[in-house]
Amino acid sequence: MMDDARPIPPLERHYGALATHLAAQRGLGLAHCTLSFDAIETVVGRPLPRTARQPRGYRSWWYGYGAGFPHAWYGWQRAGWTIAAVDLGAEMVTFARTGDATAAGRVPTDAQ
């Protein structure tokens, strides 16, 4: 559930648009949602950082490892989604609802 009580920092506002988009998918009853990197850029209104596309950096960015990327992670976590898979070659990401039994406790599977 989205809590709009606190002020949202500027970068989180961009990824808040992704939260809204994913919340709509959840509202349709979808358990998974696959989006291209281009589609995500359209939704957030800005390019993804280079790290999101780099083999050595994408896990930190997409999965929220480390302290440098909370604004992006916030976008899908806030809407009740987690990352199920990232395919760097196809530039696609699959989100899974956090309450979906198939995603719970699952190690992400990534194609490269």
In a domain, 4, yes or no: no
The H or E element that residue 69 is part of is none
In a domain, 75, yes or no: yes
With contact defined as beta carbons under 8 Å apart, do 20 and 97 qualify?
A: no
pLDDT digits (tens, 9 = 90+) for 14-70: 777 888 888 888 778 888 999 999 999 999 899 998 888 999 888 888 887 765 556
In a domain, 62, yes or no: yes
In a domain, 112, yes or no: no
Q: How many other CB atoms are there within 10 angstroms of residue 7's CB atom? A: 7
At 104 the pLDDT is: 38
In a domain, 19, yes or no: yes
In a domain, 74, yes or no: yes
CA–CA dist 63, 57 (Å, integer): 10
pLDDT digits (tens, 9 = 90+) for 67-107: 555 667 767 887 788 899 999 999 999 999 886 544 433 43
Q: pTM of the prediction?
A: 0.74
Q: Which ranges in 1-112 belong to alpha helices (H)?
A: 10-27, 37-44, 58-63, 70-77
In a domain, 42, yes or no: yes
In a domain, 49, yes or no: yes
Domain count, the chain: 1
Domain span holding position 24: 10-97
